[in-house]
A and B are shown apart, each in its own frame.
Chain A
């Protein structure tokens, strides 16, 4: 049973990573922002399979992202994705307790935390205005959150956002 679950997750991970490669990016104050589909994927893994899987998967996905996009910051994404994996796994524990709004708020806060830590490491030593720093975090979080919302409404039939 566990083997089947693991295999299923591995296949899904590969598919999502392939999708992530083709996601269009946009420019904000000369900063390239790519919507993070992988974090949405981790949200669902956390929601359905719990903390352990999401932490391990978060680390693997994070390290793959680091390896492909930012070798000089190898470990940054792995760190943030493992850390929020722990939080996202909480969704499974409180699946029947939390309402849809609380769940959405929790996910949004976790996304913010993820990008806050990630950009803190990325912008360390870079002369950048705090306002832009906050804007980038919010935009990136909102974007990922909006995609999650759309996916949840259209594909998953309000599994996470259900009241």
Chain B
């Protein structure tokens, strides 16, 4: 059986390849600065030469990725249409249940014209009244949170009972479980949250919001921030000290929620 011969591959070429291979091997085992730089230059050269191949491979990778993304897009489109149908169903069910949509708050800005901190009722007077649509038991707040409610209304002015007043109470919700509680002012900007059960997990810094149960206050207005929590074995409720979020210092103007 005749042996096939590869042209140009003879013992001379083999000897050359072998010696060159050994030389390069020896050369690249060195760690001198020249050899390190030479390696770098050669790798850069190889990188430049191999660039078209790399580019060609990247085109394939991009095509594959594109295919994958298209598949994902179809999946998301299907999911989106499913969600869309759920939304429609949700709207229909709400209509069936006569569910009332939450309305955005409408408010009027009023200037504070008088402070009555020394009287039995902690109150302020504002410069808008019946003529501006203000009636009794409207919520008063600043940009941070609840400040009080209107208790007497005149033509062009109204008296506001502040949240720090001893007789002021507001129902609140707090925590992840939206536990119900009652805010009672104690001294200055501090107060207590009463009626929060011991089992309700609460942490310091959490904010209590109006519950919306009351006819006076709309829900979700920030009232107070938890300062400390105590749990007494003999008491089924937590002892929660809170601090008002609304600022009563240098009170200049307030918002009346209509």
**A binding-site residues for B, Cβ under 8 Å:** 50-52, 55-56, 58-59, 62-63, 66, 72-76, 78-79, 82-83, 85-86, 89, 121-126
Contacts and interface: CB of A to CB of B under 8 A. Distances in A.
20 contacts: A50-B12, A51-B12, A51-B15, A55-B12, A55-B19, A56-B15, A56-B19, A59-B19, A63-B26, A72-B34, A73-B35, A75-B28, A78-B23, A79-B20, A82-B23, A83-B20, A86-B16, A123-B34, A124-B37, A124-B38
Which applies to chain B's interface (DSSP): helix, strand, loop or mixed? helix
B37 A75 contact: no
Interface string B78-89: 000000000000
B41 interface: yes
A86 B38 CA distance: 24
Interface string B19-48: 110111111111011111110010000000
A46 B94 CA distance: 99
Contacts of A56: 15, 19
Contacts, number: 81
Given A52-B12, A73-B30, A124 B23 contact: no
Given A63-B26, A78-B22, A73 B16 contact: no
Given A55-B12, A125-B33, A75 B38 contact: no
Nearest to A55: B15
